[in-house]
Amino acid sequence: MLRYLDRPINVAVALIALVAFAFGVGSWKLGFWTDDGPGPGLLPFAAACLLLPILFLILREEFDDKERFHPHPLFAVVILCVYATVIPYAGFLIPTVLLIVAWTRLFEQQSIVRGAILSVLLIAFGWVVFVYLLKVPMSMLPELR
């Protein structure tokens, strides 16, 4: 079993299978349909069904074992998980600035100033689209809830 996990692609397949299984179980518990229409479990079930063909495509594809392993995708997943965990407690503004600055610095090798400028522009654009135009209530800072 551990020999199967030697290649990073096999780890990715195992993680995608785990996510698809979790989505399937969660959607079953939520219910697919209600009397009024689609239930809350229909979208996770659709996501699980879409992940399965991706698994088969990855398993069918031939990959070179000599490909160099890059840890950047793992760092990106960790950063996004931390962002998703922190955003309900810290609001939208601070975690988003830190995410964009860290992303541009770590993955794009850009300066912190460029990341800060990009974060200000993206947050302003997001605020205009979601808060001003679409009227979506969003807490920018934790004390403004």
More confident residue, 12 or 39: 39
Residue 38: strand, helix, or coil: strand
Cβ count within 10 A of residue 32: 15
**Lookup: tokens for 40:** 């809350």
| Across 50-59, 75-84, 134-143, least confident range | 134-143
Q: pTM of the prediction?
A: 0.59
More confident residue, 49 or 65: 49
38: left (phi over 0), alpha (psi -120 to 50) or beta: beta
Round to whole Å and give the CA distance between 66 and 15: 21
Round to whole Å and give the CA distance between 95 and 82: 9
8-state DSSP, 138: -
Q: Are 104 and 118 in contact (CB under 8 A)?
A: yes
More confident residue, 95 or 58: 95
Residue 96, pLDDT score: 92
